[in-house]
A and B are shown apart, each in its own frame.
Chain A
Amino acid sequence: MNTSMQEKVGGREFTSIFLIAVGMKLSDITTTILFESGQTAGWMIPLLSLAFMLVAYVVLMSVLKRRAGQGLPEIVFTVGGKFGGGLICLLLFAAALLMTAVTSRGYVDIINVMVYQQSPLYALYLMLMAAAFYVASRGFAAIARISWVLIFLIEGAIFLLIAIMWQDIDWMRLYPWAGPGVLAIVRTGFMHSAMFGEIILATALVPQVTTFKAFRIGSAVGFIVSSLKISFLMAVYLSVFDYPEIIHIAYPFQQLTKNTSFGRVFTHAESLFIGFWLVISVIYFAFYIYLLAYLFGHALRMNRFQNLQLPMAGLVVFIGLIPGNTEQVRSYWELLISYSTVLYGALPFVIWLLDWNWRRRHAKT
């Protein structure tokens, strides 16, 4: 349709996609769920989770490095054969699809509860996904470029939010620092490491980035900065709302923005932040729809995977509408995260083994 479909993406645009897509987790149900098990140490969990995920990432990168320019689907088809490759791709696709459906439902719930209480859920859902689909249909380069354009505004808005709330912050509320105990924190961190599962999924997009080096630096920087950001914001929530009040609050980010004001005149600054937040969530889900279509298209070895975006968006809405209420969304999310942790954690090792086997066989011949 247009040239941006084939256009490759530079390092900084690629980084900003992850700064947005991963950084978004600071504003959704992820944080409240982590506080529930992490208590006053909830803010450490994102750092620990990322540390666990990075181990898997490094293993995967060692394979990718040997086959520069190839994405995850191409590699698994080479080393795993048609059946193994297809299976791995479909597994990744299924994990990503369910995750997208549950997270997007979480976002729609937030919009419904905090902003538009009288609008029906399906209408909000359709509008969000339609906007996301529209952005995704412009191609990966378009998502990347929008992210790059908006990234400074978004980080600026978060900075502004913290600056306004600075007076209400009391860092003493972070104590006792170990929360439920060191072991419990490490365990929760490990169990939830799939919240950074995108770092594994992202490797599918290697061919879309100009150089392999740009990909490596972009994804590493994007994820590390995002996890620091999530962790810092969680510390801010905790030091404003205090434990155990924090676990009673359904959406801390939105509550925090509700407390903001610029002096006496602009007392309802939340509309500014909610506006920003809506724009970013559209980009966030655009990225996911693109990724879903990409993974599924590659699993079936289709060339025109762009045509799959509309069905993917529809599928996300249908699956997302299944949970009955906001609390069910939460339990599905928990369940999904623990299963995907196994998938994202084990997959790089499986691929490494397959690759090792492939190399051994090909070295002989």
Chain B
Amino acid sequence: MRKLKLALILPLFLVAGCWDHLELEEQAFVVVVGLDKGPGNTVEVTFQIANPQIGSSDIGTAEGEPPSDTVRFTSPDILSAKELANSVVTRTINFAHLKTMIVHEALARDEAFPHIAGAAIRDPELRREVALIVSREKAYDFIQKNRPRLETRPHKYFELMQQRWQETGFVPFSTFNQYLQQQVVDSMFLAIYATADPKNYRVSRKDDYLAGEVPKHSGDPVQMMGAAVFRNGRMIGTLTGQQMRWAQMLRHKSNIDAFITSFPDPLDERAMVTVRLFKNGGTKVRLNLAKERPDIHVTIPLRAQILSFTSLQPYATDTEKQILLERHLKEEIEQEALDVIRLSQRKFQGDLFEWELIARKQFMTMPAYQAYGWARHYRKANVKVKVDLRIENFGKQRTPYSETVKGGD
């Protein structure tokens, strides 16, 4: 009996994994997918496929092979392109390591985009944590031009960039999950805005750039700066890097907690004060929805570290000037934040700051909230911004080198 059982069970080990077996050697791991608008109702799908031999100890057998290969197909949707790709690519296309999806701005603005994105997420291989980037030029060109010098392997590039995004706050941290979450009626979504085609350089004193405008003179052509604004799943406009930072600060739960920025000096208009701002706790948003024009009171608690001031004023030692500086910074931030809010109310006509979550709290039931129509009321809302600013320190120097510099001119 025991032997019979064994005889029945042992052959099972030989037949294991017939249907869904995967040979590691036969996989092509796509790390970046690019989407462009194709003719008719099609999409042009670009796959950047990683070469796993590069950057590993196996490099000896792959000498002369590039770190990745890029192929482009035109097909009705992403998944059919995946199969189509196997007419060219020797290995099975696999999305398991897909981290980034690049969408051409023209497609993002197209009414077909919500359908393409919504259809693609059905594939279990496509993860909801895929980062969504909107590129100013065609996604294919973007992928072709992106040749980071310090990172050979493409997946590593996006992985590290994602962490930098969270640190600097110039771009939103946008994933597919968030896009799908906010695809509902009158909801806003911010995606990373990027370009590999820097043209119109301009110099701004306040880091107020959009992708392509950053005054940079060498290195990888790719710039990621600012945000693409989506309403109802379609792109409708852009925010600059600095505006994006304030938008993140205005959210009750932001991904960034510190960034460096500059403001004009209160005592010398040609000079700049550079500070590192920390979020000192969550942004408080108080709503009064009783009126037709709702009142919104926002309080942003901030800590500031003064890093440099070119005016060389004795801010560190002069209490009066300190108070002046503190008040000045406070007003500047309040004004800039308010400008972003005005922009969202007038130009985008939607709430970029996830305040709908706070508005939801005011209602007991979902039907009551939906009947209220937050987006409609937000446009008319009367918003007040208050900044709680505390200057924490003045860097490692106390008094400036020379106070005569100011008197020199």
Contacts and interface: CB of A to CB of B under 8 A. Distances in A.
A259 B128 CA distance: 7
A177 B362 CA distance: 10
B62 interface: no
Given A180-B367, A245-B180, A175 B127 contact: no
Contact of B364 (A170, A176, A245, A264): A176
A40 B365 CA distance: 9
Nearest to A124: B19
User: Which interface class (under 10, 10 to 19, 20 to 34, 35 or more) fits B?
Assistant: 20 to 34
B181 A241 contact: yes
Contact of A244 (B184, B357, B368): B184
A310 to B, nearest CB: 14
Contacts of B159: 264
Contacts of B129: 258-259
A119 B124 contact: no
Contacts of A241: 177, 181
Interface in A19-45: 39-40
A189 to B, nearest CB: 16
A181 B367 contact: yes
A268 interface: yes
Contact of A176 (B20, B96, B181, B361): B361
A248 B183 CA distance: 12
B253 interface: yes
Contacts of B124: 113-115, 117
Given A180-B366, A241-B181, A118 B128 contact: no
Contact of B181 (A114, A123, A245, A259): A245
B363 A255 contact: no
A180 B129 CA distance: 30
A172 interface: yes
B357 A170 contact: yes
B189 to A, nearest CB: 12
Contacts of A196: none
Contacts of B128: 255, 258-259
A243 interface: yes
B82 interface: no
B73 interface: no
Interface residues of A, number: 33
B120 interface: no
Contacts of B252: 172
A177 B364 contact: yes
Interface string A172-197: 11011111110000000000000000
Contact of B366 (A39, A119, A255, A267): A39
A246 B129 CA distance: 15
A242 interface: yes
B8 to A, nearest CB: 11
Given A116-B20, A268-B96, A175 B363 contact: yes
B97 to A, nearest CB: 8
Contacts of B177: 241, 259
Contacts of B358: 172
Contacts of B184: 244-245
Interface of B: 19-20, 96-97, 124, 127-129, 159, 177, 180-181, 183-184, 252-253, 357-358, 360-361, 363-369
Given A176-B366, A176-B369, A259-B127, 10 more contacts: A40-B360, A114-B124, A115-B20, A115-B124, A117-B124, A172-B252, A173-B360, A175-B363, A176-B360, A181-B365
